[in-house]
Structure 1
Amino acid sequence: MKFKTITTLACALGLSAQFAMAQDCAESQWGKDDTIGAANRVTPENTLKAAALIKQGKSMPLGIVIDSNTPAFPPRSLNLQVVQPNQQGGQKLTQFGYPGNYNDDILQTWIGIGSQIDGLGHLGEKGYYYNCLSETEISAITGLTKLGTHDIPPIVARGVIIDMAKHFGKEVLDAGEHFGEAEIKAAATAQGVEIREGDVVLFHTGWTEGKLDSDPTAWVSGEPGINVDGARYMASLNPIAVGADTWGIEPIPPAPGDGAFYGHVVLLKENGIYILETMNTGPILRDGVNEFMFVLGQARIRGAVQMIINPVALY
């Protein structure tokens, strides 16, 4: 009788845990084994459509140049050392068959610096990440066992830029200034931008061009961005990725009632949509372009949570 009671209690606790998990996460629309989320929307058909957007034969980097002075979310930092192995005192490398010399480099860095892609294992809630994956299951100190950025396939898609600075009549939005569904719809309509399923959608706020060089401390201390309402609206449009010319895409300080960086949870955990941070959107807009072919093939370091990137806009 006692054994039966214990067994019944254990089953009840197990069902309760499963019910709690079901409340905290939702299974991927691509199935319980899915680990790439919205990257499933990269298809040959969409790639061919994106290629048709190349009209001028121009390319523009979407990544910024970074170094040890680039401000980043604390405590992130970067340190680069250039060395000449076995060449002390001016020694030449005669094993090359000639008096050779070369430089090599050692990089010690947090990966979440500068222009980057946030993978689906970056932000979660209540111990869970995308597709109901538990932190106890995937978060090894040697690298994520699932949801690592090395698994993201090359992202080739239609890219669009929505100029939110223009919408608000400013060169640079203010820190904490935010926008949601209504503002995004109004800006896109006025600028003739149609957001389609499988797009990469970037928001221009003017923040990085206006602040990074002139006031790096202010740049990393706050930012304008998309509020939680806007993140949920973007998720409803089924893009592959959402990004901005800011270091975190959401406003800091957060919009009233929003948690800090909760848009990350909405996009990454709840919808498997990637986040692109510190995108260099200004030069493309000044070229009169807000629709282009977006191409990204990130470095494939196994188990990485984020990755420094330099995607390219072709138009």
Structure 2
Amino acid sequence: MRRSIAACIAAAALMAGGAALADDCVHSKWGPEDEIGSANLVTPENTLAALKLVKQGKSLPLGIVIDSSTPAFPPRSLSLEVVQPGQQGGKKLTQFGYEGNYNDDLVQTWLGIGSQIDGLGHLGEKGYYYNCNDEKDIAELTGLKRLGTHNIPPLVGRGVVLDMAAAAGKPHLEAGDHFGPEEIKAAARAQGVELRKGDIILFHTGWTEAMLESDPKAWVSGEPGVSVEGMRYLVSLEPMAIGADTWGVEPIPPAPGDGAFYGHVIALKENGVYLLETMNTGPLLREGVNEFMFVLGQARIRGTVQMIINPVALY
């Protein structure tokens, strides 16, 4: 009798565990082994379509310049040291057949600083990440065993930039300002931009241009951004990536009733959509560019959660 009760309890526990997993995690539409999420939308057809957006033969960097003074989400930082190995005291290198000299560099940095891509192993919920990957199985001190940003193929597609500051009638949005589906749709209509499947959707709030240099502490202490409702709307459009000229895409303080950075969970964990932070969007808008060809090939360091990036807009 006791064995039967124990067996029943064990079976119930297994069933409960399975139910919890089902509640907390849904496998990707690209299959249970998928690790790249919306990067599956990079196709020859979409790349050729994006090429047609290059009309002037011009390009702009979408990343900002960073250094040791760049503020970042604590405790992130960057330290750079330039060295001349074997050349102390003015010694020259003669092994090459001439008196040579060279500089090398050493960097100690968090990869989530400045312009960056958030990989699918960055934010999760209840112990799970994208495609039901359990935190106990994928995260090692030496790097992610799954979902590392080295897996991401070159992201190439149609980029669009929506001017949320102009739509609000402001030079720049303030910390805590947030926008959802209606504001996003209105901004797109005002610019004559259609949001399509596979797009890289960027938002211009003016926050970084207005605040990063003038008040870096305020810049990193808050930001405007996409509300949770707005993020749910955006992922329903099946974009390749969502980004902004802010350090976290979402508003801080968050919109009333929203969890801080819960939009990251919606994009990364639930939908496999990449997030692009601190994008350099102002120059594009000043050039009159609303859509462009987006190209990103990030450094491929195995097992990384995030990566410093400098995507390129071609138009």
How would you bin the TM-score normalised by the shorter chain?
over 0.9
Q: Which position in structure 2 is the counterpart of 1:77?
A: 77
Distance 1:3 1:97, change over 3 A: farther
SS of residue matched to 2:159: strand
1: CA distance, partners of 2:10 / 2:150 = 39
Residue type at the aligned position of 2:284: I
Deviation at 1:21, TM superposition (A): 1.0
1:137-183 Cα deviation digits (max 9, x unpaired): 11111101100000001000000001000000111101000000010
2: CA distance, partners of 1:187 / 1:158 = 18
1: CA distance, partners of 2:201 / 2:18 = 35
1: CA distance, partners of 2:11 / 2:296 = 47
Deviation at 1:18, TM superposition (A): 1.2
Q: Which position in structure 1 is the counterpart of 2:89?
A: 89
Residue type at the aligned position of 1:170: K
Q: Does 1:170 align with 2:177?
A: no
Deviation at 1:14, TM superposition (A): 1.4
Q: Which position in structure 2 is the counterpart of 1:200?
A: 200
Q: Structure 2 length normalisation: TM-score?
A: 0.99
Pairs aligned (count): 315
Q: Which position in structure 1 is the counterpart of 2:297?
A: 297
Q: Which position in structure 1 is the counterpart of 2:99?
A: 99
Residue type at the aligned position of 1:114: G
Deviation at 1:296, TM superposition (A): 0.2
SS of residue matched to 1:208: helix
Q: Which position in structure 1 is the counterpart of 2:160?
A: 160
Q: Which position in structure 1 is the counterpart of 2:67?
A: 67
2: CA distance, partners of 1:238 / 1:155 = 15
1:73-108 Cα deviation digits (max 9, x unpaired): 000000000000011111111111111000000000
1: CA distance, partners of 2:10 / 2:141 = 31
Residue type at the aligned position of 1:293: M
2: CA distance, partners of 1:219 / 1:238 = 30
SS of residue matched to 1:96: coil
Identity of aligned residues (%): 72
Q: Which position in structure 2 is the counterpart of 1:50?
A: 50
Q: Does 1:234 align with 2:217?
A: no
SS of residue matched to 2:294: strand
Q: Which position in structure 1 is the counterpart of 2:29?
A: 29
SS of residue matched to 2:57: coil
Residue type at the aligned position of 1:213: E
Q: Which position in structure 1 is the counterpart of 2:217?
A: 217
SS of residue matched to 1:11: helix
Deviation at 1:13, TM superposition (A): 1.0
2: CA distance, partners of 1:129 / 1:12 = 25
SS of residue matched to 1:46: helix
1:94-147 Cα deviation digits (max 9, x unpaired): 111111000000000000000000000000011111111110011111101100
2: CA distance, partners of 1:9 / 1:145 = 34
Q: Which position in structure 1 is the counterpart of 2:127?
A: 127
Residue type at the aligned position of 2:102: Y
Q: Which position in structure 2 is the counterpart of 1:115?
A: 115
Unaligned runs of 5+ in 1: none
Q: Structure 1 length normalisation: TM-score?
A: 0.99
SS of residue matched to 1:108: strand
Q: Which position in structure 2 is the counterpart of 1:149?
A: 149
Q: Which position in structure 2 is the counterpart of 1:313?
A: 313
Deviation at 1:15, TM superposition (A): 1.6
Deviation at 1:8, TM superposition (A): 3.1
